[in-house]
Structure 1
């Protein structure tokens, strides 16, 4: 680091470690077509969209009404409850910037969970408090409640990444009500289409301190366009509009999002989610048949978490054979854990053939 950069860099950023996204760990380059990507919880499907370039010379709307109205209708809320952003990641950052004073306030996370809650807070010089999940990956509600009046935001991922677990309604209700006059409870529903009956979008009018994060990246197979949503009380949405960028959603993104949220697009999404759920169940059965593998967490999303003592060797074996999955062992209580994104039937079979081959080689070497 140059002396000038070191002199000017914010103190809270100097020791900050960037989020290790799937593409930072394994860059998508000229050899991407040779890889099978099962490490970022992306959909394996691609869907066609039409593009109209007639407005590309104009700045886009900050909150395109066609996108807002379509997503509000899909979610069963009003347009006043809805904000669109550059992925749910921007929604996380907007909440922290709008409601947390740098150097003074704190947020609460429940690890193991999605890493961007902490990264976004630390980038903004906001303290990160932690209430780890219990051994069975359920919320430690009693511990969470001790942070009343100590945090401004409580982040809860349900279904949770990377454990695949959903929070029982009574636990989530207890947390939301406990913080009703002191903090916003942010429920990240990035994977909710895989467990739709557990959504809390229909509770927004009942709980003014409830905020929901959503995305088109997972079930809608649109990770590449970076389009997410925040659902909340109108007062919260208006606060976020104070800190959002002037033109957060490019016109091409808005066009694709509108098409994805039409009845035809939603039907296609539901069909693909159903296929992924079937493929996930097949993967689970195959993994469970391996004595060296322990399934971990639950299956309420488009991925599977498992533990094996040979996780380093298995990871390297898969990388050498051009299949990429995700190492989650650095997270609390996830020692020796790997996460598999559910792919197509062919991709999953290719993966399992290699995993079976790996453990067969391990047995032969003993």
Structure 2
């Protein structure tokens, strides 16, 4: 294990031996009598049989995602969505009451919630306005705080790119500056839940190249967004094998159900990826259609640039707008509680019919 990973992990984990489940300790065979399973699934509703425990880490699924992401299978940990990966990182590297995580508001709320429920401190370095009008990393402030020896040790830095709720990308040069300066003092977590919506030529799309340059980087991915499989709860942590080994000490013995493994693996087939990419194009078309229509509405103050499947909009009265839509069966989300985003709503991009109905409901 790399010295910096051994140093950053919670110290008691150095001697912890993870629970070795039946699936983790032995594979192969035709007669499985090592896990106290039933011999069949009585009265199953389908032809599927559910009496076997799933794999700890399914080889086919992890290899399929490794191939898709351009990394090795040893760099992959599949888990119950990105949310579980966030929990695992905090549980593995942050000592309760001692260590801290860094977030950059406005950002995805689960970083702070997961840290708080575990007893880790939360250090916020809010995004700052850039020359192009977007909100970007306050890189130098982040570096200064991360290297400050007089305050709680920051073990994890969470960066959401593409941003939720903003919809834009963190500037790659700023990200690289942060990684270079922080070095092995902390892990930098790059949450790429919406990466498929980004142009494939963007440097952050090639997370494999970033991982090769920065061993302290962890990338989070999911099948919930572009792959359209939110109900499966399947996500991935991608990192150096020694980081994956630490997370593997903490994750549950059977993290993904068998139906999730089966459908997720199918979703990563060449044919399914091609269909997914076709849907991405349709979503982009509907996003631009929505933006063009919103630009004609007087109550719209600002439309934030988006590379994702949602649009953040600054409006005159967010609460009344959300209520108006809800009363007519259309649900959008009020983001006004997010730091720095007063009177902002977030609209997901649905089907063409969904957008048509939304535009009918919105005030002229």
Q: TM-score range by the shorter chain?
A: 0.7 to 0.9
Normalising by structure 1, what TM-score? 0.82
1:95 aligns with 2:89: yes
Counterpart of 1:253?
260
Counterpart of 1:142?
140
Deviating above 6 A after TM superposition, structure 1's stretches of 4 or more consecutive aligned residues are: none
Q: What is the alpha-carbon root mean square deviation over aligned residues?
A: 1.2
| Aligned 8 A contact 2:221 2:237 in 1 | yes
1:326 aligns with 2:324: no
Q: Distance in 2 between matches of 1:290 and 1:201?
A: 42
Q: Following TM superposition, by how much is the alpha carbon of 1:211 offset from its aligned partner in structure 2, in angstroms? A: 0.5
Counterpart of 1:176?
179
Q: Distance in 1 between matches of 2:253 and 2:233?
A: 16
Q: Please, which of 249, 254, 265 is the counterpart of residue 272 of structure 2? A: 265
Q: Following TM superposition, by how much is the alpha carbon of 1:202 offset from its aligned partner in structure 2, in angstroms? A: 2.3
| Aligned 8 A contact 1:163 1:296 in 2 | no
Counterpart of 1:363?
none
Counterpart of 2:196?
193
Counterpart of 1:347?
354
* Gapped regions of structure 2 (runs ≥ 5): 1-45, 148-152
Counterpart of 1:77?
71
| Aligned 8 A contact 2:301 2:316 in 1 | no
Q: Following TM superposition, by how much is the alpha carbon of 1:275 offset from its aligned partner in structure 2, in angstroms? A: 0.7
Q: Distance in 1 between matches of 2:208 and 2:325?
A: 39
Alignment of 1:113-124 (within 5 A): 113-124=107-118
Q: Distance in 2 between matches of 1:308 and 1:275?
A: 26
Q: Distance in 1 between matches of 2:344 and 2:172?
A: 27
Q: Distance in 1 between matches of 2:251 and 2:145?
A: 28
1:125 aligns with 2:128: no
Encode CA deviations 1:293-339: one digit per residue, 9 max, x unaligned.
02343211100000111222111110100000111000111000000
Q: Following TM superposition, by how much is the alpha carbon of 1:217 offset from its aligned partner in structure 2, in angstroms? A: 0.2
1:53 aligns with 2:51: no
Match of 1:324, SS state, is coil
Q: Distance in 1 between matches of 2:157 and 2:74?
A: 22
**Alignment coverage as a number of residue pairs:** 306
Alignment of 1:218-257 (within 5 A): 218-257=225-264
Match of 2:218, SS state, is strand
Encode CA deviations 1:38-57: one digit per residue, 9 max, x unaligned.
xxxxxxxxxxxxx8614x11
Q: Distance in 1 between matches of 2:208 and 2:312?
A: 27
Q: Distance in 2 between matches of 1:310 and 1:105?
A: 39
Q: Distance in 1 between matches of 2:214 and 2:239?
A: 9
Match of 1:247, SS state, is coil
* Gapped regions of structure 1 (runs ≥ 5): 1-50, 360-366
Q: Which has the larger radius of gyration?
A: 2
| Aligned 8 A contact 1:134 1:140 in 2 | yes
Mean Cα displacement is larger for which, 134-143 or 262-271? 134-143
Q: Distance in 2 between matches of 1:115 and 1:213?
A: 15
| Aligned 8 A contact 1:219 1:273 in 2 | yes
Match of 2:339, SS state, is coil
Q: Distance in 2 between matches of 1:353 and 1:141?
A: 42
Counterpart of 1:317?
324
